[in-house]
Amino acid sequence: MIEARGLTKRYGDRVAVDDISFTVRPGAVTGFLGPNGAGKSTTMRMILGLARPSAGTVTIDGRRFVDGPSPLTQAGALLDAKGVHPGRSAYHHLAALAATHGIPKRRILEVIDLTGLSAVADRRVGGFSLGMGQRLGIAAALLGDPQVLILDEPVNGLDPEGVRWVRTLARHYAGEGRTVFLSSHLMSEVALTADHVIVIGRGRILADASVAELVGDPKEATRVRTTRPADLAALLGRDGVSISSEAPGVLEITGADAATIAAEAASAGIVLLELTPLASTLEDAYLALTRDEVEYRSDARMAEEATR
């Protein structure tokens, strides 16, 4: 379990993380989402004792990470996959980590196998692709068989098979009752992988909810394509039904479900070419939550350009 209380990080007069409190629970995958510069990496670095909070506290299983007896067994992290000596082989990189943390040698081969690196374990890390580097970073995170996994953009640079592998791995570890906290820019990926989502924007928490809660009920909108849009709109035009049109012949209707629309159109002899219930997605919810942030950023950029 990761617990942050009043966590704050300032760089000069810039507030990167602004008095946030949250709990990342065991037995679940928690996604950490936010636009660029929102404060995700800074938060993860504070969790791991790599950045000092300006105020507030953050603990892993009740202890500050640096206070732990054997950090790699307490939490494993993938932060910056580039922080590896390029001249070393993958095996030697992991062996060096294992040696300094009292981890038995057989565990090195286990994580190499687990991360699909067996064929390249003796190659110099300097020649690794981004995806192989990510796998090595994840291998290092798993080395201490930790109860808490913290992964910053773990699918970055991975091919589709690799993305699926990370998803399965995250779900597997959560299924074992461990805590999995992962950041991502890919909303669709988080929707598939995470049970719970924390959304951060400009250093503040915008949402802390289950994926189901965040997505909420389906929008209850239905997209309809017909040769007689005006007739259909007139037919359905009553209190509680709203109809908009963004393209010729296409209506987006809320307040009447697909079955009602189909039945009424049929009784009036109106031919429907398409009838699609539109569910809102995590991406919709995320974009709605971070809209202000994005507007702020584009406005700021425009203002900056205008004054040049």
Which CB sits closer to ligand ATP, 178 or 202?
Answer: 202
**Shortest Å distance, C-beta 200 to ligand ATP:** 7
Which CB sits closer to ligand ATP, 11 or 218?
Answer: 11
The residues that touch ligand ATP, with contacts defined as CB under 6 A, are 11, 14, 16, 34, 36-42
Which CB sits closer to ligand ATP, 179 or 184?
Answer: 184
**Shortest Å distance, C-beta 297 to ligand ATP:** 11
Which CB sits closer to ligand ATP, 42 or 226?
Answer: 42
**Shortest Å distance, C-beta 226 to ligand ATP:** 43
Sheet order of strands, 204-210 included: 75-78, 148-152, 179-183, 28-33, 196-201, 204-210
Which CB sits closer to ligand ATP, 36 or 100?
Answer: 36
**Shortest Å distance, C-beta 173 to ligand ATP:** 22
**Shortest Å distance, C-beta 280 to ligand ATP:** 24
